[in-house]
Each structure stands twice: as C-alpha cells, then as structure tokens.
Amino acid sequence: MKLTIYGSGCAKCQTLAKNAAAAAQALELDYDLEKITDTNAIIDAGIMRTPALMINDDIVAEGKIPTVDEIRHMLDPS
C-alpha cells in the first residue's frame, strides 16, 4: 500500500504523516510512506489544499488532518 502526504513539510503535514503511519501500523499493513513537498508536483496531482493524503491513487483527505482512527477506517472500511 502506498501512502502519500502532500504539503510543504509544515507541522500539519508532519502530523498527518505520523497519523497515517500509526493507522497503517495499527492494521499491520505493509506500506510505503512518501512525502511530496514540491509545489508543482502538488498542483499536478490536483491538490488544492494541503496537507493532503493519498492512499494508492485516491486522494482521501485534503486541507485537514484526519485522526488515526479516521485514517484506519479509510484503510480498512470493514
């Protein structure tokens, strides 16, 4: 599973990255976490507000920081 964090690298982006990693670890998922800080790459991905979280190829959060539990439900809706 690929988790991608889009943002400038600010405190909110770091919190989102920590929450995403904690959620994936809680579900014992095999994942890669990538952080994209390049403005052009963020725009090219269609992100209008940061921080943003993409799971595989789907943007699941934009302009907010979901909690660990919210991300767990995004990763495993069952």
Q: Among the options 3, 5, 13, 75, which is catalytic? A: 13
| Residue 13 designated active-site | yes
Please report the sign of the dihedral spanned by the C-alpha atoms of residue 41, residue 42, residue 43, residue 44: positive
Question: Token digits for 5?
Answer: 């964090």
Q: What is the bridge-based pairing of β-strands 2-6 and 32-36?
A: parallel
Q: Among the options 10, 41, 43, 48, which is catalytic? A: 10
Task: Cite the active site residues.
Answer: 10, 13
